[in-house]
Amino acid sequence: MSSTEVEHVAPAELSALRHALEIARRGPAGGPNPRVGAVLLSQSGEVLGEGWHRGAGTPHAEVAALVDASARGTDTVGATAVVTLEPCNHTGRTGPCSEALIAAGVRRVVVSVADPNPVAAGGAQRLRAAGVDVQTGVLAAEGRELLGAWLPSVERGRPFVTLKLATSLDGRVAAADGSSRWITSEVSRHHAHELRTEVGAIVVGTGTVLADDPSLTSRNAAGELHGQQPLRVVVGHRPVPVGARLRGPGGELIEIDTHDPAVVLARLTEREVRHVLVEGGPTLAAAFVRAGLVDEVHAYVAPVLLGAGPPALADLGITTIGDAVRLTTRQVLPLGPDVLVVATPEPASTMEES
């Protein structure tokens, strides 16, 4: 946090913002809307109310905090609202939070992250126009981390794409006979199911559907379905068989008759999907990489050697090492006998300079 932020923010406001970041995580991670938390403070720094966004169609965090304050019987006139994301300034499924704060008599608003969504942005400007003191950019790094994939999705105008790979140490996703259960350990598979809880859609190709008959559900350690399930998206020209597990319990099944990753993301953008997990085989994975539409790679690597079998990626058309797709490692996490490597592709300009 910069010295400028310290000069303009009271200790009680910083404490409230850290609490707002914490309670925001109670909201759903895979929905179309961001996780947001809000805390209302009296002029003496006492908590008047708090709230978080519980999902699309429910009150936003600021309104939830105002409702909580009302239930406590506290007066919000002259209060400070501490919010993890700039209050919205538009009417969607709910009304504008900026107007709700003004109507409640809030005199000051402390914000972590400015809203990059052009539809919802402008709340800080509206508040200032009404005479409300607004401080933005407080604990911004923590605020951006909380928003996760939602933030780059809004900034890029398409879903954030995570490519998941589960391979042997020599980069194979299956043995020569096609068998692949299980290359990675139960610990890795459980971690992968937790990742599924954070996304809005899981994407595979028709080849994977026909070969593996996956269910593409998000389950807990006991094998039970989580309450909120991602969309199950199948890409390709062949239909999903009538008796496929994809037609069983789980998220909605969507079949997209294309091989173009950009078309897939456009369709999912229309569905307000913010985070996509690509779990398809080598062909689909390579298509997304070639299109430059992979934002993050989760590679689960098992200490297994196969020597033959399909690789993690199909041909990328790369013939020389200088053209290799290079990634920056962000995290290395041991998972039982396996290792998870989280990496992000380097920008094209960086790769060209190297």
Q: pLDDT at residue 236 above 50?
A: yes
**pLDDT, tens digit, 9 for 90 and up, residues 68-101:** 999 999 999 999 999 999 998 877 666 789 999 9
Domain 3-147 listed as CATH 3.40.50.1220: no
Q: CATH 3.40.430.10 residue ranges in the chain?
A: 155-353
Predicted local distance difference test score (pLDDT) of residue 53? 94
Q: CATH 3.40.140.10 residue ranges in the chain?
A: 3-147
Q: 155-353, what's its fold?
A: Dihydrofolate Reductase, subunit A (3.40.430)
Q: What pTM did the predictor assign?
A: 0.86
Q: Where are the alpha helices (DSSP H) in the chain?
A: 3-8, 11-24, 61-72, 97-103, 123-129, 140-147, 150-156, 186-196, 206-212, 261-270, 282-290, 348-353
Q: pLDDT at residue 118 above 90?
A: no
**pLDDT, tens digit, 9 for 90 and up, residues 18-70:** 999 999 999 888 778 899 999 999 999 999 999 999 988 889 999 999 999 99
**pLDDT, tens digit, 9 for 90 and up, residues 280-310:** 789 999 999 999 999 999 999 999 999 999 9
* Average predicted confidence (pLDDT) for the chain: 90
User: Catalytic residue positions?
Assistant: 62
- Report the C-alpha gap between 78 and 94 in whole angstroms: 24
Predicted local distance difference test score (pLDDT) of residue 110? 97
